[in-house]
Amino acid sequence: MYKKMKEMELYQLWSGQELDDPDLNTELAGIAGDMEAITDRFYRVLEFGTGGLRGVIGAGTNRMNIYTVRQATQGIADWLNADYDAPRVAVSYDSRIKSDLFARETARVFAANGIKVFLYPELMPTPCLSFAVRELNCQGGVMVTASHNPAKYNGYKAYGADGCQITLEVAEKVLDKIEKVDLFHDVKLTDFDEAVKAGSIEYISAEITEQFLNHVLACQIHPGICRDAGLKVVYTPLNGTGNKPVREALKRIGVKDISVVKEQEKPDGNFTTCPFPNPEIAEALDLGLKLAAEKQADLLLATDPDCDRVGIAVPEENGFRLVTGNETGALLLDYICSQRTALGTMPQRPVTVKTIVTTEIIDKIAQKYGVEVINVLTGFKFIGEQIGLLEQKGEQDRYIFGFEESYGYLSGTYVRDKDGVNASMLICEMAAFYRRQGKTLLQRLNELYQEFGVHCHTQQSFVCEGESGMEEMAAAMERLRSQPPKSIDGFAVIGTEDYEKSVITDWKNGNETKIDLPKSNVIAFRLENGARIVIRPSGTEPKIKVYYTTTADTWEEVRKLDQTLKADFSKILGL
């Protein structure tokens, strides 16, 4: 009863004043008397963590709106002013609903707190924000985006001075500051236009964008190879930020035949033709696949709304085949290794970095070329962190590639986040290279499978929305820790990796090995047949994600194993 009264009191507090965004007053009036709707908006404060903020756009403490954005920004401002003298920040935004408004409000709060703000004058990809933080000598950054979430979401990624998304330690400091801020009374604000006139908010110049593109182009391995390759590309930015920079990068490397999906070309936060603007989801690529078939394209490229992820499809005998993030990453690493070795440009003691849920075929490719593999927790900031550690030792040139299975790639050290512009360019170069050899990307992928064995990687997501959903996810993870399955799909579990307890356990002999990574709510099971299952709650969405790996000599074998493995583990999970 007290909890319901608290939520109703918050609703009445918000409803009882004229809010700066009139859409919020309209929404609050529309849910009067609807206790379920009121509870969902006010039962908690939108969580701030290493991924920043992310939530449904709307009124309330559990929503993305100008007040929760201002409150978070005030917390970041308080942290920056406590830790740095005269801090500077960079701010960017994508095509989502209210992204431009949230970016302006973010800039207003920072400026009011005496922090110099560099703001992109138009929507820009996430990697451009990471680049600006470092290039403009900033101590922090904010990218307003919800990445690939559905249209009803928006979000807010926070960055540190290294150009990476903030660490857990920094997130905890910021959260401590945020919790002390009353979102209606404690936030400092300044007039946006006056701040621009005074120079406390400065628009980022086109020169910075040009420098970013130059760094992308510097990552070419065979410069000019695309000019006479006759490569036909279909591209969709999924109504996001990639349209201008990706097309410009491809134009500069010599890709002449680019067809853009018109319905998805211009920025549109409603994502009318792709309700889930995620290149990992086949439905998002429907229009692109149709156009690719019409144009008889060699390659379909799709970037997500903030252009840090890339999905591809390539022709096969009866249409087009979607290539997974793991497969694209394997192709890229193999291309980089083989060609840099052939050209004599491979560094001494080369390094590739991948996340713990990413394909292990990488280990086999890396071993072939003498490349060290570094495994990190899920999240590209951990890959960026490894680049920073190499840079501190003056060894950044050892880094040749980093990627995660969720379609994020980076082959340079100029940013510390995944880069859809860089990846799009490199994928096109790779496709042109193999085309000139009379091969498709699919043929090259099958060659890798013949050499290293077929690796099948699939994923399941179990959506757990609302307060009850959060409790269900926590209970499921606790069950797996306290009562781990002894077998899955009839195959014995021979080992577990618990990244929260930081221990790997060999069930055959009981030996335990310490995991030297930050604690994270992730559990992995290894089976006697070589299969591996990894489970973790998403850090950005209300869902549990499960990653399945199966290996065998043929696709028929791995697909059968994958299906039965998922069916049995779904029952064990009980969601």
d(CA 327, CA 325): 5
148: domain CATH number is 3.40.120.10
Residues 7 and 102 in one domain: no
d(CA 138, CA 119): 12
Residues 508 and 365 in one domain: no
pLDDT tens per residue, the chain (575 residues)? 334 558 999 999 999 999 999 999 999 999 999 999 999 999 999 989 888 999 999 999 999 999 999 999 999 999 999 999 999 999 999 999 999 999 999 999 999 999 999 999 999 999 999 999 999 999 999 999 999 899 999 999 999 999 999 988 899 999 999 999 999 999 999 999 999 999 999 999 999 999 999 999 999 999 999 999 999 999 999 999 999 999 999 999 999 999 999 999 999 999 999 989 999 999 999 999 999 999 999 999 999 999 999 999 999 988 999 999 999 999 999 999 999 999 999 999 999 999 999 999 999 999 999 999 999 998 899 999 999 999 999 999 999 999 999 999 999 999 999 999 999 999 999 999 999 999 999 999 999 999 999 999 988 988 887 767 778 888 889 999 989 999 999 999 999 999 999 999 999 888 999 998 888 899 999 999 989 999 998 866 778 999 999 999 899 999 999 999 999 999 998 87
**Which letter, b or e, does each residue of 456-473 get, where b requires 16 or more Cβ atoms within 10 Å of its Cβ?**
bbbbbebebeeeebeebb
Residues 147 and 90 in one domain: yes
Structural domain boundaries enclosing 321: 213-452
- By C-alpha distance, which of 479, 314, 304, 489 is closest to 409? 304
CA torsion sign for 558, 559, 565, 566 is positive
For 269-323, list the strands marked E by DSSP.
299-303, 310-316, 319-323
Q: Which two tokens stand for residue 370?
A: 């003498």
Residues 363 and 467 in one domain: no
Domain boundary residue among 154, 173, 204?
204
Amino acid at 123: L
The per-residue pLDDT for 237 is 98
Residues 131 and 80 in one domain: yes
The per-residue pLDDT for 542 is 78
Residues 218 and 363 in one domain: yes
Question: Active-site positions?
Answer: 147
- By C-alpha distance, which of 482, 506, 509 is closest to 496? 506
Domain boundary residue among 147, 172, 204?
204
Q: How far is CA 485 from CA 224, 344, 477, 511, 553, in A?
A: 54, 49, 12, 18, 27
d(CA 144, CA 154): 7
- By C-alpha distance, which of 262, 336, 261, 248 is closest to 300? 261
Residues 416 and 374 in one domain: yes
The H or E element that residue 154 is part of is strand 153-160
Alpha-helical regions (H) of 191-285: 192-198, 206-217, 243-253
Residues 6+ apart with CB under 8 A from 420: 125, 127, 242, 246, 303, 304, 307, 308, 309, 310
d(CA 189, CA 476): 43
Domain boundary residue among 181, 204, 227?
204
pTM: 0.92
The per-residue pLDDT for 469 is 76
**In this structure, are residues 127 and 421 in contact, taking their beta carbons and an 8 Å threshold?**
yes
The count of structural domains within the chain is 4
Helix (H, G, I), strand (E, B) or coil at 368: helix
Q: How far is CA 408 from CA 157, 363, 380, 384, 403, in A?
A: 16, 18, 8, 12, 5
Q: Quick one: three-class SS letters along 484-536?
A: CCCEECCEEEEEEEECCCCEEEECCCCCEEECCCCCCCCEEEEECCCCEEEEE
Residues 511 and 447 in one domain: no
Residue 302, CB half-sphere, CA atoms under 13 Å: how many? Answer: 34
**In this structure, are residues 394 and 384 in contact, taking their beta carbons and an 8 Å threshold?**
no
The per-residue pLDDT for 540 is 63
Residues 196 and 54 in one domain: yes
Residues 270 and 195 in one domain: no
Residues 350 and 429 in one domain: yes
Residues 6+ apart with CB under 8 A from 202: 116, 117, 118, 119, 196
**In this structure, are residues 151 and 97 in contact, taking their beta carbons and an 8 Å threshold?**
yes
Residues 404 and 493 in one domain: no
